[in-house]
C-alpha cells in the first residue's frame, strides 16, 4: 500500500493503485491515489540561488565586467556571465573550480543564471579569472559605486581592517610581469608575521573597507598585500587604490591600532582633507600624559547589544559593563627629510591638531588583571624551572640560560616585573657547595631572579585604559559620538568571519598567483552581495531586525524544481515555496522562482555555441 500527502498543485502521479487515509482522521476517510515512475523526469535544488541571483542582477556584475573585459573567443560566452556564475557559487555552495560545473548541473543554476552548466568547466573559469585580473580594481570600483546608488549606501564613513589567509604548498615560482603597474601586481604568498619557529606559515594579506552609514554595513572595496608586508605599507596602498578608483569626495577612515602611522595621518588631513579615528598602541608616553593632565572621565552612552539586554532584563548593576571617556587636545607631528634647491637635506616638520580620547572599560579591566596574573604565574614558574636546571648542573653556559629566559619572556608584558642574574661559579663557590649525591652533576652557574611587585601594581593602575585619536572637530563631533563611531569597528571583524566561513575565502585550490588574486576578487563580490542582501532585508522588515545574510540563505537551502528534457526544449516546473520563503522574497521585492526563470531563459539560438533554453 502506497501512501502520500495531498499536493497543493494537484499533481497526480499514478500507474499503480493505492489507498491512503486523508482528511478527517476521526472518520477514517480513504482516498484513491495513483503513482507514476520518474521516466525522464529529473530533479534539481536551486537552493539559495533564488536569493543570490536577484541580488547579483541588481549589482549588474555581468554588465560591469563585460564593460572592462572584451569578449574572448576562447570563452564562447561573455566573461561577465562566467564571473557572475562563479560569484553565485561562492554565495550558495563554494566549490573548487573543477566542481563548479557539477554544482550548476545538480542545482539547476543554468535556468536562473542563463549560463549552461557545461560552459562552466574549470578551464573556462580559469580563463575568465585571467581576463579580469588586470581590470579587477576598475570593476570593483564600478560595482561599489553602482551598489552605492542602487542600494542607497553612503561611502563617507569607512571602517578599515586587514586580515590574512594561509596557504600550504611551495609557491616558489611567483614571477610577475614587469609591465604591470604597482597596484596591479598580485600579492606574494610568503612567510609572514604568523610564522613561528619550526612552523613557516605562508600567507597573503587583504585589507577590507566597509561602509557604515547606520543602515547596515557593506564591504565595498579591498586591497591585497604581500604576506610579509608591513601594516603601514598595506594601509598606504589601500588608501592609494581607493583614491584612484573610488574617488571619494568625503571620507572618515576608522581603523584599529597599528594601521595608521603619523605620516599617513598628517597626509590624510592636510593633503586629502579627510578625517580619521584610530586607536593607539598603549605606551609610556600616553600613560604619562594621562597622569599629568588627568582628563575628566564621564560614562559613555554606547552599549553593546549584550549590555542592552542586561539592562532590559533588569540584571543587577554590578554585572553591567561600562565605558568611561575623557579627552584632551593633542598635536600629531611628522618629521621627514626633504631636499632643498641647493641639494642639501633638511628636516621638515608637518603637524595637525588632533584629539586624544582616553577610554576606561570595566570589562577590559577584568581581562587585563586576569591576563597579568596568568602570565606572571607562568613566568615565575618558568624561572623556577630554569633555576632548578642550573642548580642540577643541566645548564652550564650563560648564553644558554639567557636564550631560555628570552624564549620564556616572549612578548609578555609581565616580563617587566622580573629581573634575573646569572653568573659563573668560582672555585670558592664550588667548594662551599653541599656534597652531591652519586651521579649528581655539579653546577657551573648561579641563577637568581626577583619579582618586583611595585611595577605590577603601577601597571594595574592603567588596567582597562586605551586611547583613541581623531582629527574630527569637537564642534561637529562630541567625545561620545567619536567613541560610538569607533566601537562600530566590530562590523568589520564580522565581515572577516563571513568572508572566511560561509563564503570560504580559504582553502583556494589554485597554483597561479594571478588566478588566486582574481578568485579573491570574485569572492569579495560575493561578500558584498551577502551584505547587501542582509541590509536590504533588515531595512524592509524592521530597523531592529537582526536576521543575518547567512540565515536568509539557509532558509532557501531546499528550493526544488522538476526538469524534463525534450529533443528541442527543456520543461522546468518549480515546486511551491514555503510560507517563510515567499515572505522573504516579498520583503525584498524579489521575483518568484518561475518569474526568475522566465526572465533568464530565452529561446535557443542555433547560431550560438551554447544556447539558452526555454521553459
Average pLDDT across each block of 10 residues of the chain; the chain has 615 residues. List them in order. 39 38 48 59 91 96 93 79 94 89 92 90 91 94 97 96 80 62 79 69 88 94 86 81 92 89 90 94 92 94 91 91 94 83 80 95 94 95 94 90 94 93 86 78 90 94 95 95 95 88 70 88 95 96 89 95 84 92 96 90 46 41
Tally of structural domains, the chain: 1
What residues make up the domain containing 424? 366-460
pLDDT of residue 555: 95
Within-domain flag for 430? yes
* Number of Cβ atoms within 10 Å of the Cβ of 175: 6
pLDDT of residue 602: 52
The CA-based diameter of the chain, rounded to the nearest angstrom, is 108
Residues contacting residue 314 through CB under 8 Å, at least 6 positions apart: none
Q: Which of 572, 568, 592 is nearest to 110 (CA)?
A: 572
**Per-residue DSSP letters for 38-93?**
-TTEEEEE-TTHHHHHHHHHHHTHHHHHHHHS---TTTSS-HHHHHHHHHHHHHH-
Within-domain flag for 290? no
Exposure on the CB side of residue 471, measured as CA atoms within 13 A: 24
Cα-based torsion angle of the residue sequence 417, 422, 428, 432 in order, rounded to the nearest 10 degrees: 50
Within-domain flag for 194? no
pLDDT of residue 437: 78
Within-domain flag for 216? no
Within-domain flag for 66? no
Within-domain flag for 399? yes
Omega within 30 of 0 (cis) for the link into 414:
no
pLDDT of residue 233: 76
C-alpha cell at 313: 532584563
**Whole-prediction pTM:** 0.84
CA dihedral sign, ordered 190, 192, 196, 202: negative
What letter would DSSP give residue 468? Answer: E
Collapsing DSSP states into helix, strand and coil, what is residue 321?
coil
Strands 157-167 and 252-255: parallel
pLDDT of residue 173: 63
Within-domain flag for 404? yes
Instruction: Determine the Cα–Cα distance for residues 611 and 604; give it in Å rounded to an integer.
Output: 5
Q: Which residues of 29-39 are buried (b: 16+ CB within 10 A; e: fewer)?
A: eeeebeeeeee
Within-domain flag for 376? yes
Instruction: Determine the Cα–Cα distance for residues 601 and 330; give it in Å rounded to an integer.
Output: 62
Amino acid at each position: 500500500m502506497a501512501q502520500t500527502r495531498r499536493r497543493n498543485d494537484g499533481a497526480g502521479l499514478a500507474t499503480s493503485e493505492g489507498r491512503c487515509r486523508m482528511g478527517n482522521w476521526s472518520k477514517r476517510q480513504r482516498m484513491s491515489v495513483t503513482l507514476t515512475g520518474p521516466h525522464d523526469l529529473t530533479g534539481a535544488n536551486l537552493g539559495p540561488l533564488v536569493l543570490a541571483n536577484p541580488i547579483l542582477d541588481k549589482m549588474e556584475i555581468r554588465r560591469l565586467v563585460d564593460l572592462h573585459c572584451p569578449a574572448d573567443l576562447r570563452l564562447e560566452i561573455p566573461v561577465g556571465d562566467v564571473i557572475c556564475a562563479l560569484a553565485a557559487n561562492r554565495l550558495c555552495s563554494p566549490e573548487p573550480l573543477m566542481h563548479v560545473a557539477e554544482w550548476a548541473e545538480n542545482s539547476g543554476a543554468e535556468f536562473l543564471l542563463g549560463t549552461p552548466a557545461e560552459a562552466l568547466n574549470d578551464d573556462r573559469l580559469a580563463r575568465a579569472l585571467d581576463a579580469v585580473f588586470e581590470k579587477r580594481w576598475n570593476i570593483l570600483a564600478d560595482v561599489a559605486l553602482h551598489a552605492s546608488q542602487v542600494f542607497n549606501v553612503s561611502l563617507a564613513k569607512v571602517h578599515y581592517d586587514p586580515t590574512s589567509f594561509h596557504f600550504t604548498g611551495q609557491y616558489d615560482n611567483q614571477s610577475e610581469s614587469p609591465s604591470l603597474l604597482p597596484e596591479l601586481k598580485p600579492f606574494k604568498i610568503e612567510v609572514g608575521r604568523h610564522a613561528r619557529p619550526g612552523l613557516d606559515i605562508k600567507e597573503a594579506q587583504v585589507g577590507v573597507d566597509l561602509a557604515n552609514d547606520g543602515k547596515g554595513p557593506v564591504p565595498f572595496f579591498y586591497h591585497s598585500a604581500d604576506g610579509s608586508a608591513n601594516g603601514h605599507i598595506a594601509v598606504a596602498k589601500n588608501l592609494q587604490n581607493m583614491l584612484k578608483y573610488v574617488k571619494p569626495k568625503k571620507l572618515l577612515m576608522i581603523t584599529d591600532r597599528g594601521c595608521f602611522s603619523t605620516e599617513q595621518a598628517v597626509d590624510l588631513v592636510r593633503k586629502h582633507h579627510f578625517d580619521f579615528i584610530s586607536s593607539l598602541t598603549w605606551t609610556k608616553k600616553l600613560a604619562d600624559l594621562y597622569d599629568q593632565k588627568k582628563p575628566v572621565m564621564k560614562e559613555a552612552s554606547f552599549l553593546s547589544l549584550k549590555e542592552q539586554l542586561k539592562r532590559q532584563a533588569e540584571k543587577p548593576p554590578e554585572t553591567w559593563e561600562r565605558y568611561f571617556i575623557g579627552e584632551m587636545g593633542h598635536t600629531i607631528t611628522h618629521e621627514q627629510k626633504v631636499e632643498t634647491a641647493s641639494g642639501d637635506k633638511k628636516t621638515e616638520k608637518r603637524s595637525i591638531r588632533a584629539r586624544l580620547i582616553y577610554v576606561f572599560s570595566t570589562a577590559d579591566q577584568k581581562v587585563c588583571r586576569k591576563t597579568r596574573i596568568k602570565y606572571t604565574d607562568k613566568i615565575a614558574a618558568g624561572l623556577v624551572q630554569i633555576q632548578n636546571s642550573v642548580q642540577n648542573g643541566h645548564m652550564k653556559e650563560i648564553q644558554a640560560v639567557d636564550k631560555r629566559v628570552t624564549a620564556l619572556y616572549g612578548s609578555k608584558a609581565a616580563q617587566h616585573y622580573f629581573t634575573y642574574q646569572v653568573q659563573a661559579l668560582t672555585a670558592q663557590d664550588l667548594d662551599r657547595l653541599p656534597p652531591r649525591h652519586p651521579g649528581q652533576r655539579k653546577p657551573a652557574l648561579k641563577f637568581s631572579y626577583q619579582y618586583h611587585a611595585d611595577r605590577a601594581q603601577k601597571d594595574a593602575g592603567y588596567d582597562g585604559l586605551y586611547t583613541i585619536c581623531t582629527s574630527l572637530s569637537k564642534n561637529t563631533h562630541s567625545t561620545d559620538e567619536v567613541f560610538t563611531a569607533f566601537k562600530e569597528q566590530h562590523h568589520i571583524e564580522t565581515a572577516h568571519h563571513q568572508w572566511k566561513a560561509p563564503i570560504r575565502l580559504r582553502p583556494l585550490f589554485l597554483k597561479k598567483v594571478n588566478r588566486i588574486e582574481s578568485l579573491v576578487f570574485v569572492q569579495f563580490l560575493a561578500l558584498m552581495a551577502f551584505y547587501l542582501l542582509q541590509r536590504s532585508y533588515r531595512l524592509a522588515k524592521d530597523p531592529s531586525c537582526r536576521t543575518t545574510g547567512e540565515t536568509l540563505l539557509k532558509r532557501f537551502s531546499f528550493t526544488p524544481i522538476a526538469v524534463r528534457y525534450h529533443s528541442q526544449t527543456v520543461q522546468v516546473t518549480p515546486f511551491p515555496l514555503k510560507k517563510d520563503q515567499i515572505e522573504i522574497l516579498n520583503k525584498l521585492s524579489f521575483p518568484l522562482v518561475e518569474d526568475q526563470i522566465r526572465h533568464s531563459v530565452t529561446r535557443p539560438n542555433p547560431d550560438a555555441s551554447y544556447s539558452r533554453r526555454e521553459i
